[in-house]
Amino acid sequence: MDIKSIIGLVIALILVVIALNPGILPLSAETVAKMQELKESHFLIERSGNITAAHILTLIGALALIWAIYTILKLIINATAKDGHSRTVAILTTGLLRYLAVITAFIWGLSILGVNTGAVLAGAGIIGLIIGFGAQSLIEDIITGLFIIFERQYEVGDIIILDDFRGRVRSIGVRTTVIEDEGGNLKVVNNSDIRNFQNRSQNDSYAVVDAAVSYDTDITRLEKMIPDMLREMYNANQDLYLSKPEYMGVEELGDSAVLLRFRAKTKEENVFKAKRQLNRDIKVLFDAAGIEIPFPQIVVHKADR
């Protein structure tokens, strides 16, 4: 649990208790009586137009109650989030609860202060209708975010590639998705702008390495040695490789070397680490076997004059 949320919850509950029991404060009898009247009417007051200390204290209590309910629900939702999908749904749900709490606090607060909330809501509905025509992208972001979550296109913690940005999904909000790359850089993308992405966490990945050997190398002899080499690689790195690395064959006849392709199955989060380790293992084992990894060579012909 977040210690800040717990402290905020305790403070909110204290304020609620005070609002419901004003007699514990050193207030005038008139103020206490007024607050008792407000409490009995569920925090709603007469439309007198006069804002008194009772109104302010009642408003504080109401806001504290909303905050307490929001915090309790948030703690319950986060406590039930166990896997990637439930964490994703939890983040979206708490985001929606936050908006709902703010709206409720605003309307309830106006009611406590004696404002005709019916007229306010009617005016807000007209204004909202006008704004809605210019907020189509916002609506599209929200709807797309819901589809992403309920269709499980990706979850919090998944590694995705969006355009040329590869990173781990840190949060999925009502409007935006936050992605963090290996360097800690954050990319915030509107949900409606997330198209043609790759979810690299749905399946295991392969670290692929091309190793160059000299044209003088006896390929047949080398290929007989490779299975033992790969077994040694796997035994030394079972925490990184999910299975024994594979020799795929001759990938290319280059200008100065023969390229042999190797690959190792690993988790997507370890794909770059596995590639670096595979490069190192191949170099060490080639050195031990006396296999030459050549430098680029250029043949120069000198014409007779």
Give, as one character, the DSSP assignment of residue 51: -
pLDDT in tens, 83-128: 666 676 777 777 778 878 887 887 777 777 766 666 555 555 544 5
Provide CATH code, domain 205-288.
3.30.70.100
> Which pLDDT does position 219 carry in this prediction?
85
Inform me whether the pLDDT recorded for 155 exceeds 80. Answer: no
pLDDT in tens, 29-61: 777 677 666 655 544 444 444 566 777 777 787
- Report the range of poorest mean pLDDT among 7-16, 206-215, 232-241: 7-16
Q: Alpha-carbon distance 31 to 36, whole Å?
A: 9
What token pair was written down for 4?
């800040």
Inform me whether the pLDDT recorded for 23 exceeds 70. Answer: no
Antiparallel, parallel or unpaired: β 176-180 and 186-190: antiparallel
What residue spans define the domains of the chain? Answer: 3-134, 148-199, 205-288
Average pLDDT, integer, range 54-78: 80
Would you place residue 261 in the very low, low, confident or very high pLDDT band (cuts 50, 70, 90)? very high
What token pair was written down for 58?
């009642």
> Which pLDDT does position 130 carry in this prediction?
46
The secondary structure element, H or E, covering residue 69 is helix 53-80
User: Is residue 253 classed as helix, strand or coil in its secondary structure?
Assistant: strand
Residues 148-199, CATH architecture: Roll (2.30)
Q: pTM score, two decimals? A: 0.48
